[in-house]
Chain A
């Protein structure tokens, strides 16, 4: 399909033509290969418990970053509250297992998704009319208010905004204690989230979200549910954030308001941008970089932060589509790449000037 043909056939732009572009083919297969490869290779290659721990952290962050991809990448909503959703999920799950016992771990995970999803739904509804920057700052406000409230309430979020002694993950009679067992559990959870991501990518919702993001006015006149779709994606993405928070809480045995601060908020954003905003694989790659780079930079000691900033800047200049986007550009011929790219996707997000 040529560019002209794509322009002539607007349905192609939204990715709903009869045959999807090649990078959208074999998504289940890709997911299966990815999960199998990680599940088999990591135990073979990694022997040190420290490396295993970092890999587990990567899986946790990936879950949250994929969630953020739904909110920001797909729905084009710049939410600043993903880390707060993680805190909320952590507290919710900790509260369930504290009240009912460690054997209710899976119920805790469910609660960790429901609580943030509900909050996101209400916030999303309240902010439905706000655009771009206002939405970003509105969600930032929710995160700030939420943190203060959690610090002041003790029944849910523990004394001083910290809950310690969160129970170890347990499924039936199996306690998931070692880093290796944790790895398999986290991989299963990431697999589930990515499976949902693939289902979303293939669903009409992704097309509706893309349409809404690209042209709100046209979409709403064309009957696209322009309010409902971003709202659902925001709730789903926040649920994934909450799940990641609960994973970290049960894994490390504690959760604190301070555990998920502004550095991580910027971090999750960076994961998405570095990895690539065009598919759910971008945040997974980005999270790997986010977890790995500090190890590489460690030898620079006090210059770490400066070098990190410079690297980030260079990466943005060199790879505006992120790592996954750049790889895709190499692998997939240009004419087939009619899918979502950063360009156009969010171009109006920060630029009101052009609207005038």
Chain B
């Protein structure tokens, strides 16, 4: 008798919990859905608008040591921008404020948690997230709040505005990656007279996306890829991939810095003497000193801008000087993107005359920073939510010396890429 009542009490507790859990969603309040910032303006005596609270920017990236992938470049670029803007009196009568939350590029769940935490603090805008995986993972949560996120990375078809992964409040401060890739291929074919072009990539979204764009461009030029090979992002031996490039006129390599420098070194090791073109990773590969002296004799990069040879742009020249004075080290391109992202937020707040995230998000599309940008070119967001459209083809040496060979003004990216 006692036994059966015991059992039934257990049963009841199970049923009770099931009911609670089943009905709970229906009866909970919606109080946690991103409180609205007031950020109202009021005109001051001089006619300039005044915000009732400062612009606050969330910075979402790691610094050195927080994980094995941390780098200080993003933070230094953003801090420089904030410092300079505040020296000029800030925005809306207040100094710009910022806070940083570490978002691991290799742990998307952690990144999303960082993003949500930032959203919870209700900043004016968020800047950060460098890897495509992070941006993809962040997507769902951008829907839940109007706060804009400016990704400090190149834009990709995976999350350009209008694509499946795109969002109303997701922007990218870099160039549209397919443009970088297709201009890279054009350069090899038109300027270096290459016909047999071997494609190399790391087998992750960035590398594979670049190769897709390169293949499309080759098709437009009526050419077939000479070979197309992939490697792991942490590959340390590319002998087999490199040997596939024997007989090609030029190599196109889209991927992580590690395999890129291994490829360049192993071209020399295997007596392959052809030009290579890569993108932003090439700068990192060179900066780390992992490319041997003789291995970068024919190394080209297709970039959003070239801090290594800023002579083509007075804006960039200025920025490089200020950055080096402040931090005592050379500019990393991603630092310039972080800088531009901060400038854009400030400009958008001025246009909106409000620090309300939704207003700022709307105003970002009207921003047009002609002068003083970090990456040199004008910052003018387009239909695909991409900020910059100027790109450069440079030639770099193993010691970091760069020479800009040509600059290309690409078309704005339409909605949907």
Interface set of A (CB-CB < 8 Å, partner B): 28-29, 31-33, 35-36, 39, 43, 47-54, 57, 148, 151-152, 159-162, 164-166, 168, 174, 176-181, 184-185, 187-188, 191, 195, 248, 251-254, 256, 258-259, 261, 263-264, 291, 294, 298, 301-305
Contact = CB atoms under 8 A, between A and B. Distances in A.
Interface in B101-146: 102, 106-110, 112-113, 116-121, 132-133, 136-141, 143-144
Closest 8 CB pairs of A and B: A253-B140, A302-B65, A50-B117, A164-B165, A32-B13, A50-B120, A165-B164, A160-B205
A19 B102 CA distance: 51
Nearest to A251: B140
Nearest to B10: A28
A269 to B, nearest CB: 15
B24 interface: yes
A228 to B, nearest CB: 28
Nearest to B64: A302
10 contacts: A29-B13, A33-B13, A148-B203, A159-B209, A162-B158, A164-B165, A187-B21, A259-B109, A294-B110, A301-B66
A35 B28 contact: no
Contacts of B288: none
A59 B260 CA distance: 40
A161 B108 CA distance: 14
Contacts of B17: 31-32, 35-36, 39, 191
Interface of B: 9-11, 13-14, 16-18, 20-22, 24-26, 28-34, 63-68, 70, 102, 106-110, 112-113, 116-121, 132-133, 136-141, 143-144, 158-159, 164-165, 203-205, 208-209, 212
B30 to A, nearest CB: 6
A187 B22 CA distance: 10
A177 B14 CA distance: 27
Nearest to A26: B10
A148 B165 CA distance: 23
B106 A302 contact: no
Contacts of B66: 301-302, 304-305
Contact of B65 (A176, A254, A303): A303
A259 B66 CA distance: 18
B63 A302 contact: yes
A49 B136 contact: no
Given A179-B32, A252-B141, A195 B133 contact: no
Given A180-B32, A252-B141, A256-B205, 15 more contacts: A28-B13, A28-B14, A32-B16, A50-B116, A53-B120, A159-B158, A159-B212, A160-B209, A164-B139, A166-B140, A184-B24, A184-B28, A252-B137, A252-B138, A256-B136
Contacts of A253: 139-141, 143
B25 A185 contact: yes
Contacts of A188: 18, 21-22
Nearest to A43: B28
B329 to A, nearest CB: 17
A195 B21 contact: no
A258 B140 contact: no
Contact of B109 (A51, A57, A181): A57
A164 B164 contact: yes
B158 A164 contact: yes
A302 B70 contact: yes
A225 to B, nearest CB: 28
A47 B13 CA distance: 28
A305 B10 CA distance: 44
A253 B17 CA distance: 29
Contacts of B64: 302
A298 B140 contact: no
A28 B132 CA distance: 44
Nearest to A259: B108
Contact of B140 (A57, A184, A254): A254
